[in-house]
Structure 1
Amino acid sequence: MGSFKGHVLPGTLFLVVGVWHIWSALLRFASNPKSFRVRVWNTVPGFDGKLKYLELYLVVGGAFIDLCVELLYSTHLKFFVNGQLNPSHMNDFEHAGMLLMFFIFGLVSLLSQKTRFLPLPEGALCLVAATAFCAEYLLFYFHSTTHKGLEGYYHLLLVLLIGLCVLSTVAGALLPTSFPVDLSNGIAITLQGLWFYQTAFTLYGPMMPDGCLLKEDNISCRTMDSQVRGELLANFQLFSLVLGVLGAVAVSYTFVDSKYRHSDLRSSHAIQDG
């Protein structure tokens, strides 16, 4: 069973990173399409380069904080019962393992960029990130906490979005010059963050569907019709988020293209218009 804060905290991390990834991909492609390369993380300009690695610091710091919440606060340091892992907090241990993978990805990326100890190419970093998403996918697919009914349906849709993150990240390693692949990765990460938020507000907030309620840490619907209506509402919510993100990307690209378009891109557009 989750909670409102337990979904909002990781959702914020994915949303911020995803939006920044989309914006950076659009800007880099419009500025110089011929030299475009897929990047698993993007530098932050300004302040004489002091914010260059801000995205990686956000990933490392956010994953570490959430890891501490799951492993230390949620378990109350009761890791073992009768010599075995505490069965009451298996979901917290699983969440901590997933967050550890994202922490490792951020740390490996920082070491690769700032030191000489681990000089990995961008494709290798894409595969490290894909491993973290795979760990997240396996966690929610084989979760020890059995998600049933409406809650299970929301987590099923989350698993599908995580799968898109895995595929687009692996594709970034295989197609290192593909702008659509890099953009798709940012869109998938953004949608995952938004879906965490949508799940929090629907299942643990004020948007609970009629006929369903949260009681004693369980979400139940009075009738099967109420559950079906809730699932249809989830489909509509996901469709709305996808449509909204794609619309925002289109508007952002129009703005970036008009302001930062490279001369080569203008020439190609002129030839096509001619």
Structure 2
Amino acid sequence: MGTLVGHLVPGLALALLGLWHITNTVRAYHMKGSNHFRSSFWHPFMSPSSKLAYLELFLIVSFSIFSIVMQVLDYPLYSFAFKFNNFEHATMFLHLVIYAGFTLVTEMIHKSDILFEVSGIFAASVFGQELFLLHYHSADHVGLEGHYHWLMQLIVCVSLVSALSTTIFPSSFPSSLVLSISVVFQGLWFINMGFLLWVPELVPKGCTLRLGHGGDSDMHGSVICGTHEAGFRARALANLQFSWILAGILIFVGCICLFYPKKVTPRVNSNEYERLNSRVAEIPLSVAGFKQVSYQ
């Protein structure tokens, strides 16, 4: 993953997956209402009876297995060599295969409702292992590169907490929405890291991109800033990018939330309906009696 393509491809896949989850989560919430909403760690591509219903899970498993093979073969060198950095990345995708594979099997044998919490635990383990392997990465990310990876760990931490919260509280719309937002954020931040750390023309002013030579660092570069002021400026720009990307995601989510109520007929809350009936039934009989008396 130490290349532009290595960041761009998985980042784009995560961003699209998160956008898909945001759209379906908001739609389900507005269609079912707050009383009947239930979170889901995946969403059918078409109707549940369609052959393409499990397309999301199939794509996750297929993409993860492909990524594992690419990491083991040390793309783009295609030389089978044991490199800790590559196997750490492959292990992240391995946990994704375990989660998606297990969830797919539970759907096919019609035990998804019973084993929902187990799928949630597996989903949380994906983010937990990602956070663990990012924090204790064999590739020593320092300087500006280390700052970008530290910000990435903050996003993954939010994904982990929201995944656990969704598992424990499956009817919580905020937990499910935050989880989807964090997945989009991860994907966009991966893409941002790929461009800002691996395209020499986009490296911050006062910093340079240097590729490693020899050993385990053939495909790992590092951004080196010439002065303390340049490093401080580059980290400040990274912080602004972090906030701007989040702002863009929140604007999109806000627009989606405002869009769906126009398409869905609002439902009357049953509790309010019962209270309205009770209030009508409780109209004082004395009023009616008073009217009758007044006419006599």
What TM-score, normalized by structure 2, do the two folds share?
0.83
Tell me whether 1:62 sits opposite 2:63 in the alignment: yes
Paired position in structure 1 for 2:52: 51
Tell me whether 1:159 sits opposite 2:153 in the alignment: yes
CA contact (8 A) 1:4 1:200 kept: yes
Tell me whether 1:232 sits opposite 2:236 in the alignment: yes
Query: 1:184/1:215 Cα in 2 relative to 1: closer, same or farther (>3 Å)?
Result: same
Give distance in 2, aligned partners of 1:60 and 1:225.
45
Query: 1:117/1:181 Cα in 2 relative to 1: closer, same or farther (>3 Å)?
Result: closer
Query: Structure 1: which 5+ runs fail to align?
Result: 80-85
Give distance in 2, aligned partners of 1:117 and 1:168.
23
Paired position in structure 1 for 2:284: none
Give distance in 1, aligned partners of 2:181 and 2:249.
7
Tell me whether 1:246 sits opposite 2:250 in the alignment: yes
Query: Structure 2: which 5+ runs fail to align?
Result: 212-220, 276-296
Query: 1:45/1:260 Cα in 2 relative to 1: closer, same or farther (>3 Å)?
Result: farther
Tell me whether 1:41 sits opposite 2:42 in the alignment: yes
Tell me whether 1:190 sits opposite 2:191 in the alignment: no
Query: 1:77/1:112 Cα in 2 relative to 1: closer, same or farther (>3 Å)?
Result: farther
Written as runs of structure 1 = structure 2, the 5 A alignment for 1:68-83 is 68-74=69-75, 76-79=78-81
* SS of corresponding position for 1:263: coil
Paired position in structure 2 for 1:110: 104
* SS of corresponding position for 2:202: coil
Query: 1:260/1:150 Cα in 2 relative to 1: closer, same or farther (>3 Å)?
Result: same
Identity among equivalent positions (%) equals 30
Query: 1:58/1:185 Cα in 2 relative to 1: closer, same or farther (>3 Å)?
Result: same
Paired position in structure 1 for 2:175: 181
* SS of corresponding position for 1:220: strand
CA contact (8 A) 1:123 1:172 kept: no
Paired position in structure 1 for 2:204: 209
Tell me the CA shift for residue 45 of structure 1: 1.7
Give distance in 2, aligned partners of 1:116 and 1:25.
22
Amino acid at match of 1:44: F
Paired position in structure 1 for 2:12: 12
Query: 1:49/1:144 Cα in 2 relative to 1: closer, same or farther (>3 Å)?
Result: same
* CA-based RMSD: 2.3
Tell me the CA shift for residue 73 of structure 1: 3.7
Amino acid at match of 1:214: L
Paired position in structure 1 for 2:23: 23
With 256-265 and 92-101 compared, the bigger mean Cα shift is at: 256-265
- Superimposed CA distance per residue, residues 225-262 of structure 1 (whole angstroms, 9 cap, x where no aligned partner): 11111110011001001111111101011111111244
Tell me whether 1:133 sits opposite 2:134 in the alignment: no
The total of aligned residue pairs comes to 261
Give distance in 1, aligned partners of 2:105 and 2:113.
8
Query: 1:252/1:69 Cα in 2 relative to 1: closer, same or farther (>3 Å)?
Result: same
Tell me the CA shift for residue 6 of structure 1: 1.0
Amino acid at match of 1:162: V
CA contact (8 A) 1:30 1:261 kept: no
Paired position in structure 1 for 2:2: 2
Tell me whether 1:91 sits opposite 2:85 in the alignment: yes
Give distance in 2, aligned partners of 1:36 and 1:246.
21
Give distance in 2, aligned partners of 1:264 and 1:118.
30
Structure 1 counterpart of 2:259, from 238, 255, 269: 255
Q: Which has the higher contact order (CA 8 A, sep 6+)?
A: 1
Q: Which structure's CA Rg is the greater one?
A: 2
Amino acid at match of 1:207: L
With 214-223 and 180-189 compared, the bigger mean Cα shift is at: 214-223
* SS of corresponding position for 2:241: helix
Amino acid at match of 2:136: F
